[in-house]
Structure 1
């Protein structure tokens, strides 16, 4: 109950250990929600408000029913596997069926598993699905020319991805297919569904570990080539697009499919920024070889989100990196 005796709105956030999920839990508690989450090992956030932790498995039918019971909102953040860190070389080497079985089908199946539990709960007013800008940006028509502007109406080309198998193709296909499966399910069962497609996410979260986004953003300082390849991988599609995790969490409270991006930049711009602003580190210029963009060829637009009154707090690299350096130290990505 709230101080006035009214029942707090209750939200379930799946995958509470994750970088985005932990930041979302923190924001919801600060806004006065009661929060239930799954598979979280840290309970420091309980000081902010009522937080319950449950065990659940995306591959286990019905395992989210207890966590979702009595919830008003369900935030689907957990993924069945850490798809972004899946070895691209292994994925390319496998036949198409292997990626289908190991990456794509579990993502779709896990999403629908949680949504079925939302229906069974009978109290969930809205489901908020965290997808990825990967479901928007990978299209063969963007390989030529520049000045392309993409928004939520764009979809990555699944047939192109399955035919060409670029690095990370299984992850991108999984995001497209799970979104479309979730949309069909929501329409069939009368569920209010919001989908948020974040780009590379920067900033600090309560999570004691962070995969992909934060290591990628700090890779030019850490020298981690695998993390840098994730950053550079997005640029192969024409842009390095960023948003701050705090802005992303606020965008999760919207009502439609939104692309969440506040800054379109390049690897070279990030390198120049880091060299100027963090001289105590040496930017690993050896990572900058090859064909890198001087300016973005593609712009990811969040105009729809902004037209509905949303205002990004973080629109520059200064804002993105403001406290992420110290976070990187705490995570062991950067030396103390």
Structure 2
């Protein structure tokens, strides 16, 4: 078999997750064979792929991983970015892939959702060190708050958080407010995110980190959008109290991704 005829293979960890299930669907639609790991293979119908697909294989996580090995063209893994930097005062800040959340500040203050961005920074930096030590080409896609429909039967918290303006779930809305403390509410649609990961996987020149952000907005702007777009539902205005941003003070830029040809 020539290199040009070789079947494309991808490995996606946590295949029954919200984003992973959508990614598996996109990969299958684009001709990839997919190996995915889940905690319970007997519930493989939750892994975001048709049961009768001959190009999808599900194996158990934590079982040694032997079945999932092989020469995949890329490994699907996503690191959700939540940038927290205390020195960003005032308005008009535009952040790209260079800055990281301030781990020392977060671990020192332990305020809000501090553990989440800390874990993501430590995870991505550990993966980068491992790749460098073993000669692996690592390209990282860093999405923001991800929304939209995916094959997984349960939505990730970010979807429930954004829908809290309609559901009235106070705990989910509280998490949404905590996200906005970084200076904006940054959103991306799950379909755009999966297309972006496929794009950088197939782009020979792709390297390093890529932010994937479709919209920088605020809770108030989101509430106004939902009120205008879906008047048949009622935005729970009782949640909109206290100090909320009118406009984003900070914006996350996907200029690197777009500059390399992604739409």
Alignment of 1:132 with 2:80, yes or no, is yes
How far residue 212 of structure 1 moved from its aligned partner, in angstroms, is 1.1
What is the CA distance between 1:230 and its match in structure 2?
A: 2.1
The structural deviation recorded for 1:46 is: 3.8
Q: What is the DSSP-based 3-state SS (H/G/I as helix, E as strand, rest coil) of the residue aligned with 1:45?
A: coil
User: What is the TM-score when the length of structure 2 is the normalising length?
Assistant: 0.89
Judge conservation of contact 2:97–2:210 (CA < 8 Å) in 1.
yes
Report the counterpart of residue 114 of structure 1 in structure 2.
Answer: none
Encode CA deviations 1:115-137: one digit per residue, 9 max, x unaligned: xxxxxxxxxxxxxxx11212xx1
Tell me, in whole angstroms, the C-alpha distance in 1 between the residues paired with 2:65 and 2:157. 26
Normalising by structure 1, we get a TM-score of 0.71
| Equivalent pair of 1:212/1:230 in contact (CA under 8 Å) | no
1:70 Cα deviation after fit: 4.0
Cα deviation for residue 69 of structure 1 reads 2.8
Report the equivalent of 1:308: 260
Query: For residues 33 and 280 of structure 1, what CA distance do their matches in structure 2 show?
Result: 41
Looking at both structures, which has the greater relative contact order when contacts are Cα pairs under 8 Å and sequence separation is at least 6?
2
Alignment check: 8 A CA contact 2:80 2:120 kept = yes
CA distance, structure 2, for counterparts of residue 258 and residue 219 of structure 1: 29
Instruction: Quote the Cα distance in structure 2 between the aligned partners of 1:235 and 1:162.
Output: 19
Relative distance call for 1:164 and 1:209 in structure 2 (3 A) is same
Q: Structure 2 CA distance, aligned partners of 1:64 and 1:75?
A: 15
C-alpha distance in 2 between matches for 1:66 and 1:49: 16
Correspondence for 1:264 among 216, 239, 253: 216
CA distance in 1, matches of 2:9, 2:235: 45
Contact 2:212 2:254 in 1 (8 A): yes
1:194 to 122, 134, 139: 139
CA contact (8 A) 1:15 1:37 kept: yes
CA contact (8 A) 2:44 2:58 kept: no
Which stretch has the larger CA shift, 162-171 or 201-210?
Answer: 162-171
Give 1:191 shift.
0.3
Aligned residues: 248
- The match for 2:159 is 214
SS at match of 1:195: strand
Deviation, structure 1 residue 6: 3.5
The alpha carbon displacement at 1:298 in A equals 0.3
Show the counterpart of 1:277: 229
Structural mapping, 1:1-336, within 5 Å: 6-39=5-38, 41-43=43-45, 44-47=49-52, 50-57=55-62, 63-76=64-77, 130-134=78-82, 137-142=83-88, 144-253=89-198, 254=200, 255=206, 256-311=208-263
Aligned equivalent of 1:101 = none
Richer in helix (by share): 1
Gaps of 5+ in 1: 77-129, 312-336
The answer on whether the counterparts of 1:12 and 1:36 sit within 8 Å (CA) in structure 2 is yes
Larger mean Cα displacement after TM superposition, 238-247 or 161-170: 161-170
Aligned with 2:67: secondary structure? helix
